Amino acid sequence: MIAFSFRRRIVRSGGEAQGLVSPADWRRPRVKWGLGFAQTLLLVWLVVIGLGPILWLAKSAITPTQDTITHPMAFFPHGFAWSNVTQAWTDVDVGRYFWNTIVIAIGSWLSQILVATTAGFALSVLRPKYAKVITGLLLTTLFVPAVVLLVPLYVEIVHPPLVHHSFIDSYWAIWLPAGASAFNVVLITRFFDNLPREIFEAARIDGCGPFRLFVSIVLPMSRPILGVVSVFALLASWKDFLWPLLVLTDPNKQPLSVRLPTIQSQTELGVFLAAMFISCLVPIVGFLIFQRSFLRGGGLGGAIKG
């Protein structure tokens, strides 16, 4: 049934067949039932693999611990345990760590977006004479494994140049290094490279200086790539464990990714799973919001003759 409606939607939306199998082929019983069954099977398998663990976590978060241990795949044999969620929020103090994670993620995201867009704008649109050299240097940093940078980065954070004040136990210790992402700069530079130059030239003649060109023209045209970088930035920050563990020694400032493994041994399984589910919610909601950026093409409709 799923496969059948899927096929019909494809044919209807475009007015003609979009897939490899033509409408005429779809009308043949062998194709209709054979391929339909295969599609249904594939879809079910993808749902089980992709959504299964999340759904199990959601179920277990509101299942009594005893039930989860004895009947892990059963559906609420002895009712719900909503207290897991409230306990996780109050007793385990997930709320605090949740907030810490949000602050860290938003700060890292802002830092990455600011650095990547301004650097990309400079390298791609303003194009100073040494742009190629800088782009080359940026690319070379992509070949350095992140783990190799841990020690020098830590030393920089403990003894930052100019500031002479350690950033240990401060969120700046996470926000500042997060901005130095060569991958984001390269990604955004390549996107900016593909924006039509004529639009920038039209804007310059209309009266735009570099700042106005960046804010009023380039950024609004770059929503798809900003969405992509935002998802990468938020997810990376949300699940980062090692760096926050190193630079945030105060438990009250640590994010969920650092605190959850620490509290595991002292927390009841049901409450712990509820805490884990809460920690998963934001990335899932964030992805649902930004996923349109992945699926939608560039916002250049009608800007230039294609």
Partner 1 sequence: MAEIRFEGVSKVYSDGTRAVESLELTIGEGEFMVFVGPSGCGKTTALRMVAGLEEISGGAILIGDRVVNEISPKHRDVAMVFQNYALYPHMTVAENLAFGLKLRKHNKGEIDERVRAAAAALDLEDHLERKPRALSGGQRQRVALGRAIVREPAAFLMDEPLSNLDAALRVQTRAEILKLQKRLATTTIYVTHDQVEAMTMGDRIAVMKKGILQQIGTPEELYCRPANVFVATFIGSPSMSIVPGPMIGVGREGQLAGFRPEHIELGASDVPSVRFDAVVEVVEYLGDEQLVHLRLGDQALVAKLPVSATVQAGASESFAVPLASIALFDSASGEATAWSAAA
Q: Is residue 305 close enough to count as binding partner 1 by CB under 8 A? A: yes
Q: For residues 168 and 159, what is the distance between their CA atoms, to the nearest angstrom?
A: 10
Q: Specify the residue, 145 or 297, whose C-beta has the smaller distance to partner 1.
A: 297
Q: Are 181 and 112 in contact (CB under 8 A)?
A: yes
Indicate if the alpha-carbon torsion angle 10, 11, 15, 20 is positive or negative: positive
Q: Is residue 271 close enough to count as binding partner 1 by CB under 8 A? A: no
CB of 210 to partner 1, least distance (A): 11
Q: Is residue 212 close enough to count as binding partner 1 by CB under 8 A? A: yes
Q: Is residue 220 close enough to count as binding partner 1 by CB under 8 A? A: yes
Coil, helix or strand for 248?
Answer: coil
CB of 291 to partner 1, least distance (A): 20
Q: Specify the residue, 188 or 248, whose C-beta has the smaller distance to partner 1.
A: 188
Q: For residues 300 and 220, what is the distance between their CA atoms, to the nearest angstrom?
A: 10
Q: Are 189 and 122 in contact (CB under 8 A)?
A: no
Q: Is residue 131 close enough to count as binding partner 1 by CB under 8 A? A: no
Give the other-Cβ count within 10 Å of 127's Cβ.
Answer: 11
Q: Is residue 221 close enough to count as binding partner 1 by CB under 8 A? A: yes
Binding map of partner 1 across residues 192-211, x = CB under 8 A, - = no contact: ----x-xx-xxxxxxxxx--
CB of 218 to partner 1, least distance (A): 11
Q: Specify the residue, 136 or 301, whose C-beta has the smaller distance to partner 1.
A: 301
Stretch that binds partner 1, among 6-14, 215-223, 261-269, 286-294 (CB under 8 A): 215-223
Token pair of 181, please? 């992402």
Q: Is residue 123 close enough to count as binding partner 1 by CB under 8 A? A: no
CB of 154 to partner 1, least distance (A): 42
Give the other-Cβ count within 10 Å of 268's Cβ.
Answer: 16
Q: Specify the residue, 49 or 205, whose C-beta has the smaller distance to partner 1.
A: 205
Q: Is residue 302 close enough to count as binding partner 1 by CB under 8 A? A: yes
Q: Specify the residue, 12 or 129, whose C-beta has the smaller distance to partner 1.
A: 129
Q: Specify the residue, 58 or 300, whose C-beta has the smaller distance to partner 1.
A: 300
Q: At what angle do helices 269-295 and 29-61 cross, to 10 degrees?
A: 140
CB of 280 to partner 1, least distance (A): 34
Q: What is the dihedral of CA 122, 128, 129, 131, to 10 degrees?
A: 0
74: left (phi over 0), alpha (psi -120 to 50) or beta: beta
Stretch that binds partner 1, among 34-42, 85-93, 217-225, 263-271 (CB under 8 A): 217-225
Length of the chain: 306
CB of 200 to partner 1, least distance (A): 9
* 167-196 positions binding partner 1, by CB under 8 A: 196
Cα–Cα distances (Å) from 80 to 65, 74, 253, in that order, read 10, 12, 32
DSSP, residue by residue, 274-287: HHHHHHHHHHHHHH
Q: What is the dihedral of CA 58, 63, 69, 75, to 10 degrees?
A: -80
Residues touching partner 1, count (CB under 8 A): 24
Interface with partner 1 (CB under 8 A): 196, 198-199, 201-209, 212, 216-217, 220-221, 299-305
